[in-house]
Structure 1
Amino acid sequence: MPMNPLRLLAPPAHTWQLLGWNVAGSDDLRTIRTAIQHHFAATHPGQDQLAQQIALVATELAGNALRHGLPPVTVKLLRDQDCYVLQVNDRDPDRAPHRASRQHHRGGGRGLRIVDTLAEQLCWHPTVDGKSVWASFPVPKDGTGPVTESV
């Protein structure tokens, strides 16, 4: 059964960075998850579900980059007027991300399918020195959180 490639698309152009990490190993994944949840608790009380979804996607994408990409791996939580963007970069330009077929799920391979379920978009694009995989999440329309926050 063929692999299903991700959509080739750059992330939104007018984002600003909220959080960022250099990821050296799996121990860093817990740090990222906790920091995202703390960030949302402090800046967007009541958005626990969104925080958990973004944190899970961050660890799935970063874990994939650690397993299948080349170091260094970086993770950024970005924001624009309409969405949050979780962006993971690694230095392997030759290995495009793809969803494993359903038959290959016995030993793993579910990460991008989980991300597909939780994120509004899941895309990738080549960079000057590797690749970037990103997922977006809509900003809640109930007025939570300032639109002008920046780091």
Structure 2
Amino acid sequence: MAPLLTSPPPPEAIELRRWELADPAGLRALRASLHEAVTGEELLDGQSLDEVPELIALVATELATNALKHGIPPTVIRLLTIDESLILDVADHDLSTIPELSDTRPMGAGGRGLQIAMAVSLEVGWYATDRTKNIWASFPRR
């Protein structure tokens, strides 16, 4: 498995939407709101997503869950765009740790958010600011 890039997304990326979560109760609303931000259409109860919006929502909820579980709230999720790509950027406020890929945990034990992101996105990276630790993943805009 390739290591995570250690750089921020391109600085010319434009923020489309931003969400802040203080606890896991907001994950369902995040998923629906992300779908609307990516497709321009509301996600109805029981409706399935197209491939790219589904992958973005999957990675967003995995990374946000990790940030809520192991980071310091609030978790900030941003959807960015540049050229033909969408970039998901998830931040928490715990600067004492760095993201680590874990391939030694048994299946079902959790902690696979980064592996999922790396498997379904174009690129995955991380960076820190003076206040946050951020993980980002890019996807094709279709």
Q: TM-score range by the shorter chain?
A: 0.7 to 0.9
% same residue:
36
State the shift of 1:5 in Å: 5.6
TM-score, normalisation: structure 2? 0.85
Match of 2:109 in 1: 107
Match of 1:96 in 2: 98
4+ aligned runs moved over 6 Å, structure 1: none
Match of 2:128 in 1: 126
Letter of the structure 2 residue corresponding to residue 9 of structure 1: S
Two-structure CA RMSD over aligned residues (Å)? 1.9
Deviations 1:79-124 (A, max 9, x none): 0113111001111112101111234444212211111111111110
Match of 1:69 in 2: 71
State the shift of 1:56 in Å: 0.8
Number of matched pairs: 134
Q: Distance in 1 between matches of 2:55 and 2:130?
A: 29
- Which ranges in structure 2 are unaligned for 5 or more consecutive residues? 42-48
TM-score, normalisation: structure 1? 0.81
Task: Point out the structure with max Rg over C-alpha.
Answer: 1
Structure 1 residues 61-70 or 33-42, which shifts more?
33-42
Q: Distance in 2 between matches of 1:19 and 1:118?
A: 21
Summarize the alignment of residues 32-47 of structure 1 with structure 2, pairs less than 5 Å apart: 32-42=30-40
- Which ranges in structure 1 are unaligned for 5 or more consecutive residues? 141-151
